[in-house]
Structure 1
Amino acid sequence: MEKLKIIAIVGSLRKDSYNRQLALTAQKLVGDQAEFQLLDFTNVPLLNQDIEFPAPEAVKRVRVEVKAADGIWFFTPEYNHFFPGVLKNLLDWLSRPVSDSEPQVLAGKPAAISGITPGMSGTGLAQDHLVTLISFLNMDVMNVPRLTIPNALQQVNKDGKLELTASLSYLDKQVQSFLKFIRSRK
């Protein structure tokens, strides 16, 4: 059986963001069950129809990576009760047709969502907004289980690095569920 490929999209560009650390923890839990790659979209420009065709090289690269994936896993923080603008910009680019003959690359892709925040919300509101958008983009959303982790500072070590305690088993459950979800769509 061909190994599944999961692309993780972290909604924060900060190098040591809690959501990036959460994605790296998920990557460890996935292990050799699938190929798991964090998408680098730091150089994707703001969407501007003046530069849409031909798309900038960074946009072409992320489209190719997303198109090749069997599943997309979003790890999003919550900024002002919403997901970050950089994630919205990336999704705007990915939602646009590649060319007159090639549609956008997100339609039909299985998607999972997780998020962690230092505050009390656990990213629930941001995730709800994200589900609304990616459902509109015709992604195949795994709504259960979703993972919302509040109070991130209770799960960091003395160096400020994320070490999931109470939430680790829930992340592992989501890993196994998402792998099963993707396989059921192939």
Structure 2
Amino acid sequence: MQKFIAMVGTNSTNSTNRKLLTYIQRHFADKAEIELMEIKDLPLFNKPEDRKVPAVVTEMANKIDAADGVIISTPEYDHSAPAALMNALEWLSFHITPFIDKPVMIVGASYGALGTSRAQEHLRQILDAPELRARIMPSSEYFLAHSLQAFDDDGNLVDEQNIKKLDGLFADFQIFVKISDQLKNAHGANYEEVRNLDWNK
């Protein structure tokens, strides 16, 4: 069975993005082992001179590295991904390399009608940065709009069309992960290149 990390892309205590990932974890329990990963307790990234990352970041990086893929659910604040998520990715690309060639699926829940479309586009750019180099599943946008009304009292999605699309995208992601596992010819070179990056030189 495939193992995925589901990263809650917000430090908000009450988030429909966390609710969406919890639903994904439960809904696909027979297809994959999915572990929720919180970012709300991370310190503010400060580029430490000794290049040491906090223990909580190391633990997160190890879990991502061991996973077959990562699902990130992002809110949208001011047409962008939230600062807390960018902070987490800054830590997870600071002289550590868990995202290199790691398959990533992006989803998002929003109170409004656009369903995090701009935030997801921004997040794709970040994950494609030289320090991260994640392998992002193409043409896979899942926008959960009007998310306050999207779940019932048990945390289940209520709209059949939303469920059907999520089912299809998750099945595609599982295939994408298998295909990505075969695309490792440049992985060693990518790893060395990222490890040797030094913007101060």
TM-score tier after normalising by the smaller chain length: 0.7 to 0.9
The one of 83, 95, 98 equivalent to 1:97 is: 95
Structure 2 residue aligned with 1:110: 103
The one of 115, 123, 127 equivalent to 2:116 is: 123
Q: Measure how far apart 1:58 and its partner are.
A: 1.1
Matched, 1:176 2:174: no
The one of 160, 167, 170 equivalent to 2:162 is: 167
Structure 1 residue aligned with 2:12: 14
Task: Using structure 1 for the length normalisation, give the TM-score.
Answer: 0.88
Give secondary structure in 2 for the equivalent of 1:35.
strand
Matched, 1:70 2:68: yes
Structure 1 residue aligned with 2:78: 80
Cα 1:96/1:81, change in 2 over 3 Å: same
Describe the superposition over 1:117-153 as per-residue Cα deviations: whole angstroms up to 9, x where unpaired: 1112210000000011111221111022220121223
For structure 1, the 5+ residue unaligned runs are: 99-103
Task: Using structure 2 for the length normalisation, give the TM-score.
Answer: 0.82
Structure 1 residue aligned with 2:31: 33
**Is the 8 Å Cα contact of residues 12 and 84 (structure 1) preserved in structure 2?**
yes
Query: 2-side partners of 1:36 and 1:62: how far apart?
Result: 14
**Is the 8 Å Cα contact of residues 18 and 162 (structure 1) preserved in structure 2?**
no
Give secondary structure in 2 for the equivalent of 1:38.
strand
Query: 2-side partners of 1:30 and 1:163: how far apart?
Result: 13
Cα 1:92/1:155, change in 2 over 3 Å: same
**Is the 8 Å Cα contact of residues 29 and 175 (structure 1) preserved in structure 2?**
no
How many pairs were matched up?
Answer: 178
Which 4+ runs in 1 deviate beyond 4 A?
159-162
Query: 2-side partners of 1:52 and 1:33: how far apart?
Result: 42
Q: Measure how far apart 1:162 and its partner are.
A: 5.5
Give secondary structure in 1 for the equivalent of 2:76.
coil
RMSD: 1.8
Describe the superposition over 1:67-119 as per-residue Cα deviations: whole angstroms up to 9, x where unpaired: 11110111011011101111000000111213xxxxx2111000101111111
For structure 2, the 5+ residue unaligned runs are: 182-201
Give secondary structure in 2 for the equivalent of 1:31.
coil
Query: 1-side partners of 2:62 and 2:143: how far apart?
Result: 29
Cα 1:181/1:31, change in 2 over 3 Å: same
Identity %: 31
